[in-house]
Amino acid sequence: MKKNINKNISSITVVFLSMFLVVPAFAQVSGVSVNGVGSASTSRMQLRTEARAKAMANTVQKVQGTGDKEISNRIDSLNKLLTRVQSMKNLSDSEKTSISANLQGVLASMNSLKTKIDSDTSTTTLKEDFKSITADYRVYALVLPQTSLLSASDRINTIVSQMQTLSSKLQTRISSAQSDGVDVSSANSSLSDLNAKVTDASSQASLISQEISTLTPDQGDKTKASSNETILKDARAKLKVANQDLKSAREDVTSIVKVIKSDKKNSEATSTTTN
């Protein structure tokens, strides 16, 4: 009996020793630490967390780079517009001041936005800031079209001034031709039309300047954005009318010149016959 008890004790001892030998081996093969079964799982979680953090950092860096480029392009365009505004000849000083102030304000906002985007670490915040480049400041949707229209208006007024000077000279030539016995009825009609078209072109240009010179970015206000778009559309329509006026005025000049040239030919022919 005693012998059997000793034998059982020996068997139990062997089992316990086997367990202590097997567990470390199993842990080594399975990657589970003897001191903590969950340490391998924790390690994998850390790796996933680090991978996500790295991916987010790469995304942030990429968006920041794109944002900086978009903002820099707009800043360059705004600086060029500032120079163009100062060179406009037919805008009043108050109009130039108003436009320049708007451009300076947008420039300041662009620079502030660039600083904010460069310091963003959250993808959510960065996404909103990046979106505001186009959604809030409207450099390409408003500021550039606005200044381009003002530049076109300024050019129209320059041509109008030239046409008015030319009209005065043509009137003198028409009167001279009439004194020589030339039928100048068509020339007078063309001159009247020329003056009317030039006056209308000048009026259209003035209206363009008045309605768009004070426009400012909508800053996300949909009602204001819609209003700005409507005004820009109307200004483009007026610009089209003004350009058509000037085209018709040039055609009138051509008609008048033909009459003047016929008077010159008649005078030369008369002079040749007399001699």
Number of domain units in the chain: 1
pTM higher than 0.85: no
Q: What is the DSSP letter of 139?
A: I
Asked if pLDDT for residue 237 goes beyond 60, the answer is yes
d(CA 68, CA 62): 10
pLDDT value at residue 196: 98
Instruction: Print the domain residue range for 78.
Output: 61-261
Distance CA 269, CA 263 (A): 10
Q: Is residue 50 part of a domain?
A: no
% of the chain residues with pLDDT over 90 = 39
* 95 in any annotated domain: yes
Domain annotation covers residue 224: yes
Assess if residue 75 is contained within a domain.
yes
The maximal CA–CA distance of the chain, rounded, in angstroms, is 167
> At 135, which amino acid appears?
A
Confidence of residue 46 (pLDDT cuts 50, 70, 90): confident
H-assigned helices in the chain: 2-30, 39-87, 93-119, 123-135, 144-179, 185-212, 222-274
Whether the CA torsion 242, 247, 251, 257 is positive or negative: it is: positive
pLDDT for 30 beyond 50: no
Establish if 274 belongs to a structural domain. no
pLDDT at 15 over 50: no
Judge whether residue 270 has pLDDT over 80: no
Look at residue 154 and tell me if it is in a domain: yes
On whether residue 175 sits in a domain, the answer given is yes
Would residue 31 count as lying in a domain?
A: no
| Whole-number pLDDT of residue 10 | 52
